[in-house]
Amino acid sequence: MINILLIAAIFGFVLSTTLFFKKSTNTIATRILGSFYFLLSVYALQAFIIDGGYLEHFTWFFLWPLLPYHLIFIPIYYYFKVILTDQFKWDKAELILLIPFLLGLIDVVYVYLQPVNFYNNIIFQAIASPEHRLEAEYWLLSLDQHLLMRHVWQLGVLVVLIPPIKKFIKKGNNDELKSILNKWLITFWSILTLMAVLAILYALEKMFDENLFHSLIIIGKDGGIITFFLYIALFLIGIIPIYFPSILYGYPQKIKPSSNIIKEEQPEELKFGLDEQEVISKLESLKESKSYLNQSFNLTECARELDMPSHHISYFLKSYYGLSFSSYKNDLRMGYAKRLIEDGYLQNNTIEALAGECGFASRTSFSKAFKNATEVSPSQYAIDMR
């Protein structure tokens, strides 16, 4: 069961690296999420080292992690805030989030300022009796009190987020990407809340030296049902992004449909699409590369070239241009075909050659697409251009 912590740590380190360096449609949100997964990975790794009995080989990995652990709920808060409001904004009232960190800083500095024997005694007790390591006394608070405070703050943050999350989920339920985002936020929030509750119960058990569920001991002679489910919660948080791969790219931001596109009346509420300028820039690069002229060019190939999920591309094209991917591709091909005709391509080449040049497998399919786009045949268009 201890190995669950190691697996969660490995998954977390891989995910945090991916979130930091992967190209994203919402850089701020994905990097904040990456910082959370990095802290979670350090948290799980230290728990594996201590509970697995390896602390004697990593004695340096005990006191200082208290400080980053007291920051773990801050990226949680700001990740949700950025997703829900589409912006990163700091408020003075949010200084309350730093209280656990400041108390932890005081205690960590206090311990390091003590004679070496003071710190060595804390390490010795943690190695000799890992299950009682949280009883270590610092100056302001004991280690179990620090654990309790940290997760009370985490639970408080998650409770504060309930109203804006509920309001956010009610909007745009018919939107495919919004539906995926809703599921991810609910799942992520739920597991984080479970983790906070279990960690609070775990800290209370250690503080009062009482197993709250005597008959359900699972992990060793001193383990229990709370410890078991806390490990499971950490494991789930570490691997749950596998079921929501879109978070690796970031979720889209709000945009308005282009004013140049004639569409049916749209509701005043902004729809969720991708970052307008970024995606348009990528589409311009696609035009310049002319890869859309390849007969094998499809949505999958387009996604690979733009380094975006295919459903994001389809969503953006539909929301911004009112076109399916197939229609957008044909529009690009028809634009290229018209330029070739205007430059006199058909004076020395056949329509079959023009069809192949524009990415079509046959003259028939090309002529049909061209007539749908221009209301005239390629040959007639050539005549009109003379």
Concatenate the DSSP letters of all residues of 154-177 into one string.
Answer: HHHHHHHTHHHHHHHHHTTTT-HH
222 and 276 in one domain?
Answer: no
191 pLDDT band, cuts 50/70/90, is very high
- Indicate whether 241 belongs to any domain: yes
pLDDT of res. 235? 82
Instruction: Examine the pLDDT at 349 and tell me if it is beyond 50.
Output: yes
- Indicate whether 192 belongs to any domain: yes
pLDDT of res. 273? 46
Instruction: Examine the pLDDT at 168 and tell me if it is beyond 90.
Output: no
- Indicate whether 317 belongs to any domain: yes
Instruction: Examine the pLDDT at 215 and tell me if it is beyond 80.
Output: no
Stretch 184-208: mean pLDDT: 89
pLDDT of res. 386? 67
Strand partners, 142: 137
Q: Which two tokens stand for residue 182?
A: 């809703």
- Indicate whether 259 belongs to any domain: no
Q: How many domains does the chain have?
A: 2
- Indicate whether 254 belongs to any domain: no
The answer to whether the CB of 308 falls within 8 A of the CB of 249 is yes
The answer to whether the CB of 248 falls within 8 A of the CB of 16 is no
Mean pLDDT of the chain: 82
Q: Which one-letter amino acid corresponds to residue 368?
A: K
Q: Give residue-wise pLDDT tens across range 15-43.
A: 899 888 876 667 788 889 999 999 999 98
Q: Which of 248, 283, 300 is the last residue of a domain?
A: 248
191 and 58 in one domain?
Answer: yes
334 pLDDT band, cuts 50/70/90, is very high
Quote the percentage of the chain above a pLDDT of 70: 85
277 and 232 in one domain?
Answer: no
98 and 218 in one domain?
Answer: yes
Q: Token pair 């939107």 is at which residue?
A: 175
Integer Cα distance of 15 and 48 in angstroms? 19
Q: Give residue-wise pLDDT tens across range 68-127.
A: 999 999 999 999 998 888 778 888 889 999 999 999 999 999 999 999 899 889 898 888
69 and 22 in one domain?
Answer: yes
Degrees to nearest 5, angle at CA 280 with 274 and 285: 130
288 and 181 in one domain?
Answer: no
Q: Token pair 């002319």 is at which residue?
A: 290
Residue 255, SS3? strand
Neighbours of 307 (CB within 10 A): 11
Q: Which two tokens stand for residue 11?
A: 């998954």
pLDDT of res. 74? 95
Strand partners, 271: 255
Q: Which of 197, 215, 248 is the last residue of a domain?
A: 248
280 and 201 in one domain?
Answer: no
Q: Which of 218, 248, 278 is the last residue of a domain?
A: 248
Instruction: Examine the pLDDT at 264 and tell me if it is beyond 60.
Output: no
307 and 239 in one domain?
Answer: no
CATH code for the domain of 333: 1.10.10.60
Residues in the chain, overall count: 386
281 and 221 in one domain?
Answer: no
296 and 351 in one domain?
Answer: yes
Overall pTM > 0.75:
no
* Cβ burial, residue 83 (10 Å; 0-12/13-18/19+): buried
104 and 27 in one domain?
Answer: yes
Q: Give residue-wise pLDDT tens across range 56-70.
A: 888 888 889 999 999
Q: Which domain holds residue 368?
A: 268-385
Neighbours of 287 (CB within 10 A): 12
